[in-house]
Amino acid sequence: MTQFEKSAALYERAKRVMPGGCSRNTILRKPHPIYAAKGEGCYVTDIEGVRRIDFANNVASLIHGHAHPAILASVQTQMALGTAFTVGTEIEVQYAEQLVNRSPNFDMIRFVNSGTEAVMNCIKAARAFTRRPKIAKVEGAYHGLYDFAEVSQTASPANWGNLKGPASVPVSRGTPQSVLNDVVVIPFNDPETAIAILNEHKDDIAGILVDLLPHRIGVIPAEQSYVAALRKWSTDNGALLIIDEVITFRTDFSGAQNSYGIKTDLTALGKMIGGGFPVGAIAGRAEVMDMMNPLNGPAPFPLYGTFSANPITLTAGSIAMNLFDQAACAKLNALADKARFGIAEAIKIAEVPACVTGRGSMFRIHLKEKAPNNYREAFIGPEEQKCLSALLDHAFGNGLLMVETGAGLLSTPMGQSEIDHLCDTVLSGLRKIKPMMLKN
């Protein structure tokens, strides 16, 4: 039996019943995906019995790794009491209070089931509040699958147009032209160009959607001046500032927005706040959140959802966030500083044109000499992709799970030994791909 025989056989079965053999393209890898048998802390063991350190953490959603005992115990207790009701539960109120208390920008909150839903509902709330149709979003930023939020996510040199006025590029075939017309695409970290573009649509923009440390744009922080310019423009022009913290909430006790010293209008949350279960949330300014309030007549934006605020997710999330207090967050971020430092050292020793970016508990390796500052600079061309895939294959073969872009996310069960393993593996991987990189 070869090492991956069970996974290969399972994938053959999978391809017969699911397009591409999966429900989420994220799991795909060549020649076939691997399948998890179990996760414990920061380790995942696959069905062949191979154990790897998990730097993917279900794409940033697991802050305490797998099967945390305290989360497990409370979920098991709640499961015996019921998993979903058509009435409220106390945990919904308690967890809402808990999250609202984490950020001065969260007056109120509502729970949904995914980051996609959270972003979609922020956009709908912004439209209801402003009575305007358009949203502005940053070129290349990933915000989930809502038609309007996904525009330009996968723009490429073939279709992205002029940087001074990026094209609204559809992701899914069949996206209505009306959707593209209602999405204003702005470049990242270029306040002058962004403001000039916004000015062309100023009476129509309901909100500007921004991720402050966007993964697909390279895990590079939004510059203070950029965020300040978007905040000022939206205030001056009656639009809302919507921050997507579906991933970045893990970077600071109060989310990435905390370090910008700004008042935001709406925030989309997800991933980590579900404690390992599907979740999303919309948090923000009371007046805007009131768009969902049906107590004084029909809500301007009615919000329902069969599994929203189910007590399993909220029990797990509440425990996870209690455990992720200021001290735990600072400790994890300090460990990630060591990872970024160690990777930068590996790059120096290997003498390859590469760099590492990131903030909080996130990092991303770029096979580029200089850190990118926008989507176009972060874009991975075909030659670079070959080298990156070889590096990630090397990491995989040496016991690391990472995100396909070369990004990694830490979890609280990790310690120095996992970081040492990561940095050693990156060094040996870079040495291995160096001839390939230098050929390009």
Ligand X SMILES: Cc1ncc(COP(=O)(O)O)c(C=O)c1O
* Stretch in the footprint of ligand X (CB under 6 A) among 110-118, 259-267, 309-317, 400-408: 110-118
Choice between 23 and 156, CB closer to ligand X: 23
Q: What letter represents residue 238's amino acid?
A: G
- Minimum distance between the CB of residue 277 and ligand X, rounded to whole angstroms? 11
If one asks whether residue 211 binds ligand X (CB under 6 A), the answer comes out as yes
Q: What is the 8-class DSSP label of residue 222? A: P
Question: What does the alpha-carbon distance between residue 106 and residue 97 come to, in Å, rounded to a whole number?
Answer: 10
Q: Which of 89, 114, 254, 361 binds ligand X (CB under 6 A)?
A: 114
Enumerate residues 120-179 that contact ligand X by CB under 6 A.
142-144
Q: How far apart are CA 38 and CA 51, in angstroms?
A: 9
- Binder to ligand X among 65, 191, 218, 270 (CB under 6 A)? 270
We find the least distance from the C-beta atom of residue 374 to ligand X, in angstroms, to be 16
Q: Is 116 one of the binding residues for ligand X (CB under 6 A)? A: yes
Q: Under 8 Å CB-to-CB from 73, ≥6 apart: which residues?
A: none
CB of 408 to ligand X, least distance (A): 14
Nearer to ligand X, 184 or 242 (CB): 242
Compose the 225-244 pattern: x for residues touching ligand X by CB under 6 A, - for all others.
-------------------x
| Cα 294 from chain centroid (whole Å) | 31
Q: Could you tell me the smallest distance in angstroms from the CB atom of residue 435 to ligand X? A: 34
Q: Which is nearer to ligand X, 273 or 423 (CB)?
A: 273
Q: Please say which residue, 230 or 350, places its beta carbon nearer to ligand X.
A: 230
Residue 162 CB, nearest approach to ligand X (Å):
26
- Which residue, 115 or 406, is less far from ligand X as judged by CB? 115
Q: Which long-range contacts (CB under 8 A, 24 or more apart) does 286-291 make?
A: 286/107, 286/108, 287/129, 288/125, 288/126, 288/129, 288/240, 289/107, 289/108, 289/109, 289/110, 289/125, 290/108, 291/125, 291/128, 291/129
Does residue 355 belong to the site contacting ligand X (CB under 6 A)?
no
Region 246-265 residues binding ligand X, contact defined as CB under 6 A: 246-247
Smallest separation (angstroms) from ligand X to the CB of 218: 13
Shortest spacing between CB 278 and ligand X, in angstroms? 7
- Determine the 3-state secondary structure of 401 from DSSP: strand
146 close to 126: Cβ distance less than 8 angstroms: no
- Binders of ligand X in range 71-100 (CB under 6 A): none
Q: For the CB of residue 281, give the shortest distance to ligand X in the complex, in Å.
A: 11
CA–CA separation, 125 vs 378, rounded Å? 31
User: Token digits for 140?
Assistant: 């290349």
Query: Looking at this protein, which amino acid is placed at residue 329?
Result: C
Closest residue to ligand X, based on beta-carbon distance? 115
Report how far residue 196's alpha carbon sits from residue 159's, in angstroms, rounded to the nearest whole number: 21
Measured from the CB atom, is 6 or 29 closer to ligand X?
Answer: 29
Of residues 295 through 354, those in contact with ligand X by CB under 6 A are none
Q: Under rule CB under 6 A, how many of the chain's residues touch ligand X?
A: 14
Distance of alpha carbon 401 from its chain centroid, rounded? 17
Residue 115 C-beta: closest distance to ligand X, Å: 2
Least separation, in Å, of the C-beta of 272 and ligand X? 11
Q: Are 217 and 374 in contact (CB under 8 A)?
A: yes
Query: What one-character DSSP code corresponds to residue 252?
Result: S
User: In the complex with ligand X, which residue's Cβ is closer, 126 or 246?
Assistant: 246
- 65 forms part of the interface with ligand X (CB under 6 A): no
Phi-psi region of 279 (alpha: psi -120 to 50; beta: other; left: phi over 0): beta
Answer for which of 50, 59, 67, 171 binds ligand X (CB under 6 A) is 59
- Please identify, using beta-carbon distances, which residue of 4 and 260 lies nearer to ligand X: 260
CA–CA dist 73, 64 (Å, integer): 14
Q: Are 267 and 242 in contact (CB under 8 A)?
A: yes
H-state helical runs in 134-208: 147-150, 177-181, 191-199
The two tokens of residue 54 are 């998990």
Can you give the binding site for ligand X, defined by CB under 6 A?
59, 114-116, 119, 142-144, 211, 215, 244, 246-247, 270
